[in-house]
C-alpha cells in the first residue's frame, strides 16, 4: 500500500490533485517566523518553503529549534511573529481555519499520543472518530483537490495501516505493554488514520535500535503522495528518507542542503 491515504502516482507527484483545483504547489510556507519563550528566542525570523510532495529534513543539534518549528507547522504553537501558510492558507488566521487545516496534518512527536490504558485499536479508533466527527474537511478539501481516499471510512484506513505497519498482532494489546519501537509504529498509524496530506515527524529515529530505524526509514519512503517534514540531528538517517535538508542553528536557518 502507498501509506494509507497516499495516491499511486508516486513521490513528488501528489500535488497534481491540488494543482487541478487551486494550483497549490507549496505545502508549507513560513515567512519571518519567530518564537520567543520569555527572553529566549527559540526561532529567529525563519523563512522556508516546502513543495507539495517533497520530503524535507530539518537538521541541527539539540536546541536548534527543530521541535518548536515542527510544533508551529503542526499548528500546536502560535509563532510570536511571522506568517505560516499551510497549503496556501494562513494557519493562524482564526481558530476555525486552524481546525480545518489540522485535517491535513499528521504529527508524530517526541512523546507518544497513545493512552497507556487503551489498546492500540481503541487508541486509533478514538483519534479516527474525533477526526471524522468534524466534517469541515470535505468543505475545505473540496475547494482545492479531488480528495483521494476521502470516501473511505476510518475502519478501512485502520486495516490498511495495520497491514502497512505490521501491527495486526498488537491491535488488542494495551499501549503500555508495547515496546518503544512498536509504540512508535502505532503512533505513526495514529498520525495517518485521518489520511493527512502533510506528515510531520519529530525525531522519529530517536531511541530506536538499528533494525527499527531501518524499518521506519522504509515505511517513510512509502509515504507516496504526501508531503513529509522530518526533524533529526542525524544527517545519515535524514538522508535515507529525505531529498532536501534545512540546517537550523540557534533558531536560525543556516543553509539548505541537497541530501
Instruction: Give the residues lining the site for another protein (CB under 8 A).
Output: 74, 76-78, 95-96, 99-103, 105, 107, 109-118, 122, 126-127, 129-131, 133-137, 190
Residue 88 CB neighbours (<10 A): 15
Nearer to another protein, 67 or 232 (CB): 67
42: closest CA among 12, 72, 75? 72
Residues 6+ away with beta carbon under 8 Å from 221: 240, 241
**Least CB distance to another protein at residue 258 (A):** 31
Nearer to another protein, 3 or 105 (CB): 105
Strand (E) or helix (H) holding 127: helix 120-133
**Least CB distance to another protein at residue 199 (A):** 12
For residue 53 the three cell numbers come to 510532495
Distance CA 239, CA 129 (A): 35
Q: Are 247 and 48 in contact (CB under 8 A)?
A: no
**Least CB distance to another protein at residue 109 (A):** 6
Nearer to another protein, 74 or 167 (CB): 74
**Least CB distance to another protein at residue 241 (A):** 22
Residue 50 CB neighbours (<10 A): 21
Nearer to another protein, 36 or 244 (CB): 36
**Least CB distance to another protein at residue 137 (A):** 7
Q: Are 238 and 230 in contact (CB under 8 A)?
A: yes
Residue 173 CB neighbours (<10 A): 15
Residues 6+ away with beta carbon under 8 Å from 102: 75
Nearer to another protein, 78 or 254 (CB): 78
**Least CB distance to another protein at residue 72 (A):** 12
Nearer to another protein, 54 or 100 (CB): 100
Amino acid at each position: 500500500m502507498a501509506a494509507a491515504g497516499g495516491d499511486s502516482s508516486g513521490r513528488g507527484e501528489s500535488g497534481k490533485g491540488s494543482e487541478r483545483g487551486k494550483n497549490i504547489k507549496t505545502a508549507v510556507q513560513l515567512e519571518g517566523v519567530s518564537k520567543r519563550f520569555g527572553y529566549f528566542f527559540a526561532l529567529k525570523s525563519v523563512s522556508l518553503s516546502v513543495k507539495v510532495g517533497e520530503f524535507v529534513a530539518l537538521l541541527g543539534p539539540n536546541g536548534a529549534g527543530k521541535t518548536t518549528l515542527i510544533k508551529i507547522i503542526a499548528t500546536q504553537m502560535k509563532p510570536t511573529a511571522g506568517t505560516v501558510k499551510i497549503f496556501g492558507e494562513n494557519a493562524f488566521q482564526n481558530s476555525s481555519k486552524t481546525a480545518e487545516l489540522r485535517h491535513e496534518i499528521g504529527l508524530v512527536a517526541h512523546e507518544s499520543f497513545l493512552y497507556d490504558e487503551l489498546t492500540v485499536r481503541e487508541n486509533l479508533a478514538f483519534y479516527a472518530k474525533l477526526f471524522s466527527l468534524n466534517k469541515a474537511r470535505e468543505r475545505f478539501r473540496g475547494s482545492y483537490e479531488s480528495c483521494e481516499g476521502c470516501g473511505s471510512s476510518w475502519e478501512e484506513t485502520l486495516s490498511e495501516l495495520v497491514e502497512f505497519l505490521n501491527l495486526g498482532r498488537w491491535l488488542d494489546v494495551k499501549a503500555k505493554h508495547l515496546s518503544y519501537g512498536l509504540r512508535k509504529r502505532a503512533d505513526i498509524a495514529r498520525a495517518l488514520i485521518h489520511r493527512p496530506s502533510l506528515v510531520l515527524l519529530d525525531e522519529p529515529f530517536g531511541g530506536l535500535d538499528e533494525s527499527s530505524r531501518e524499518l521506519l526509514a522504509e515505511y517513510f519512503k512509502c509515504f507516496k503522495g504526501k508531503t513529509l517534514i522530518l526533524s533529526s540531528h542525524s544527517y545519515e538517517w535524514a538522508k535515507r528518507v529525505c531529498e532536501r535538508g534545512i540546517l537550523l542553528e540557534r533558531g536560525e536557518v543556516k543553509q539548505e542542503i541537497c541530501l
